[in-house]
Structure 1
Amino acid sequence: MHHDHSPAGIWAQGDYELGEGARWVDGRLVFVDILTGRLFEAPGSAPSSGPARELLRLDVPLGAVAPVQGRPGHWIAAAGTGIALLDPDGRTEWLARPEDHTRVHTRMNDGVCDPHGRFWAGSMAYDATPGAGSLYRTDPDGSVHRVLDGLTIVNGPAFTADGSTMYVADSAAGVIHRCTLDRAGDVLEKAEFALLTNGGSPDGMTVDTDGRLWTAIWGRGTVHRYEPDGTLTATVRLPVPQPTSVCLLPTGGSLLVTTARHGLTGDHGLSGAVLSVPTDAAAPPAAAYTMH
């Protein structure tokens, strides 16, 4: 296993409380600041020292978005207590709000589309009540299905290129699960893929073009790269303690990492900025939601 000490640069300046959901969409980086409900874009060229541009703002937390196929500027989002379609002005059309009637106060968290155009998103309790988190799948017809429950803080998921394998993190438990899916998107088998024992929490993740899983490790200031068999083969060290999500460019060259200053006091350095680390790895752009 090698430790990568190449210096982290700044891709997008900012003081984001809970930056998350880094995705490569239409040649640029988009990401969210969850608790303020904001979606941002950052230039797709070389890192700019400037701030990112706000695309829209909701009055509920915004966990993550995915583009909608054939509808530029429209998004499907994990937001508030459910799944919504967003137009370029931030108007919401709710598909479902499954977290409205939970036993504890919960919100949607991370989300991403699989290669088949379905949107997957997880939830968590605000106070991280164990077992209060679920994973949902939104099908092209707009129906929302609970696929997994009994998790605590659901992050990811990430998918292999053929969509048959899904990785999903339960951050609070320090576990990454590997799930085999059938064609309908139901879980055939769930197994423990990786377990963090040093106190770090696996957060946002992506699968590169070689099938390796990259995941931000909240609390440890690192990004881990795992082989498909679960072997940890690289650890990227970052100058901040709370990386939240990772994005690899389709052309390679940069690993982009959102970070959070949530809970940090005093001078928190680069925490809250979007960082860039040189890498030779690449990943496809974010998959889009296919509406029927």
Structure 2
Amino acid sequence: MEKGEGKMAPSHFATGIGAPEGPVCLPDGSMYVTEMSASTLCITRLDSRGNRRVIRTTGGRPNGLTTDGHGRIWIAEAGLRALICIDESGTEIRRMQGEDTDRFLFPNDLCFGPNGLLYMTDSGMAAEDFINGQAFVDDYMNLDWDGRVYEIDPAAMKVLRVLDRKIRFTNGIAFGPDNQLYANASFTGEIYRYDVLGEASPTRAVFGNVLQPDSNPDFKGPDGMAFGTDGRLYCTVYNQKNVTVLDRRGEVVDRLILDGPQPTNCAFTLDGKKLRVTEVGKGQVEEIDMACEGLPLYLPKFA
């Protein structure tokens, strides 16, 4: 029997969202998402009933989101090739585009670490060079990908270290209960682990792989991910119609079947045991009842 088969189907928290990504759940039951469709390109707040209100239109291609201890919103803006910080009203506070000789290409996802620093994936190629709308260009797998993982000082808005590069489409990122950093590669299906707190030059270690072997010729691969208090990693897999669950050893132990085929990211609610999943194929946020809560995220405060 397929893992996850026969479980209760997810419910719909919100529908009619333009290619949602970057979910961030808030204490009052509301959440932030990005909308990546050409007609939206914005940061949106969904109230506790899923009603939509636009916070800011960026006009590029907003992808990943996270928040800090002041409630400010940090955006991995792939289309503008920038890291942007806004306040809760949508006013821009700060922006960076990388170093002059090493500018960001496609900022994808981001999270804060226990040291107060910001960690961001960059998929490794400017959007206009590999994507048309939501679809990849022909022969995209053979392009010269330079996917990266950045360590950033958010107060100084300065890159401290490039932890890794030459990854084939770096995507989701999260800190685990072991205080190690996890990031994935969409084209290979691999989840990588980095000891960023213990090593001056962290080395890439393969933690696991989320792909299911089948005959589907379409692209599929890991996207956003989150850890639960059970120590397991919950990883959305685009075009695989599931959230794949890995245990502490990196073994696949479950696949949570979704309604929509193209999940992009997930986040645990802060009240109750639920996982919210953004899905672009149908433009919705799905909600799954869980046996655990989410591992608390780091919310540093800094000037």
TM norm. shorter chain > 0.5: yes
Q: 1:274 maps to which residue? A: 285
Q: 2:222 maps to which residue? A: 202
Q: In structure 2, what residue type is equivalent to 1:255?
A: L
Q: Choose from 156, 159, 169 the match for 2:172.
A: 156
What is the alpha-carbon distance in structure 2 between the residues aligned to residue 109 and residue 6 of structure 1?
31
Q: Specify whether residues 207 and 186 from structure 1 end up closer, same or farther in structure 2 by C-alpha distance, changes over 3 A only.
A: farther
Q: Choose from 29, 43, 50 the match for 2:47.
A: 43
Q: 1:266 maps to which residue? A: none
Q: Choose from 213, 229, 241 the match for 2:261.
A: 241
Q: Give the match's secondary structure for 1:188.
A: coil
Point out where structure 2 has 5 or more consecutive residues left out of the alignment. Answer: 131-139, 214-218
1:45-84 to structure 2, matched below 5 A, reads: 48=49, 50-69=50-69, 71-72=70-71, 74-79=72-77, 80-84=80-84
CA deviation string 1:79-118 (max 9, x = no partner): 2212222134434344431287669x93211112223322
Matched, 1:138 2:152: yes
- Displacement of 1:32 in angstroms is 0.9
Q: 1:6 maps to which residue? A: 8
What is the alpha-carbon distance in structure 2 between the residues aligned to residue 115 and residue 60 of structure 1?
30
What is the alpha-carbon distance in structure 1 between the residues aligned to residue 251 and residue 92 of structure 2?
41
Q: Would the aligned equivalents of 2:27 and 2:271 in 1 still touch at CA under 8 Å? A: no
Point out where structure 1 has 5 or more consecutive residues left out of the alignment. Answer: 262-270
Q: 2:110 maps to which residue? A: 111
Q: Choose from 294, 298, 302 the match for 1:283.
A: 294
Q: Specify whether residues 135 and 251 from structure 1 end up closer, same or farther in structure 2 by C-alpha distance, changes over 3 A only.
A: same
What is the alpha-carbon distance in structure 2 between the residues aligned to residue 8 and residue 152 of structure 1?
31
Q: 1:215 maps to which residue? A: 235
Q: Would the aligned equivalents of 1:140 and 1:290 in 2 still touch at CA under 8 Å? A: no
What is the alpha-carbon distance in structure 2 between the residues aligned to residue 147 and residue 251 of structure 1?
34
Q: In structure 1, what residue type is equivalent to 2:36?
A: I
Q: Give the match's secondary structure for 1:250.
A: coil
- Displacement of 1:229 in angstroms is 0.3
Q: Give the match's secondary structure for 2:4.
A: strand
Q: Give the match's secondary structure for 2:187.
A: helix
Q: In structure 1, what residue type is equivalent to 2:118?
A: F
What is the alpha-carbon distance in structure 2 between the residues aligned to residue 140 and residue 232 of structure 1?
34
What is the alpha-carbon distance in structure 2 between the residues aligned to residue 52 and residue 172 of structure 1?
32
Q: Give the match's secondary structure for 1:173.
A: coil
Q: In structure 2, what residue type is equivalent to 1:123?
A: D
Q: Would the aligned equivalents of 2:122 and 2:170 in 1 still touch at CA under 8 Å? A: yes
What is the alpha-carbon distance in structure 1 between the residues aligned to residue 258 and residue 99 of structure 2?
34
Q: 2:246 maps to which residue? A: 226
Q: Choose from 186, 192, 197 the match for 2:206.
A: 192
Q: 2:24 maps to which residue? A: 23
Q: Specify whether residues 86 and 186 from structure 1 end up closer, same or farther in structure 2 by C-alpha distance, changes over 3 A only.
A: farther
Q: 2:92 maps to which residue? A: 92
Q: 1:264 maps to which residue? A: none
- TM-score scaled to structure 2, two decimals? 0.80
Matched, 1:176 2:175: no
Q: Specify whether residues 291 and 285 from structure 1 end up closer, same or farther in structure 2 by C-alpha distance, changes over 3 A only.
A: same
Q: 1:267 maps to which residue? A: none
Q: Specify whether residues 63 and 187 from structure 1 end up closer, same or farther in structure 2 by C-alpha distance, changes over 3 A only.
A: farther
Q: Specify whether residues 259 and 187 from structure 1 end up closer, same or farther in structure 2 by C-alpha distance, changes over 3 A only.
A: farther
What is the alpha-carbon distance in structure 2 between the residues aligned to residue 107 and residue 101 of structure 1?
15
What is the alpha-carbon distance in structure 1 between the residues aligned to residue 200 and residue 84 of structure 2?
21
What is the alpha-carbon distance in structure 1 between the residues aligned to residue 154 and residue 99 of structure 2?
20
Q: Give the match's secondary structure for 1:106.
A: coil
What is the alpha-carbon distance in structure 1 between the residues aligned to residue 45 and residue 294 of structure 2?
18
Q: In structure 1, what residue type is equivalent to 2:12?
A: I
- Displacement of 1:186 in angstroms is 5.0
Q: Specify whether residues 82 and 152 from structure 1 end up closer, same or farther in structure 2 by C-alpha distance, changes over 3 A only.
A: farther
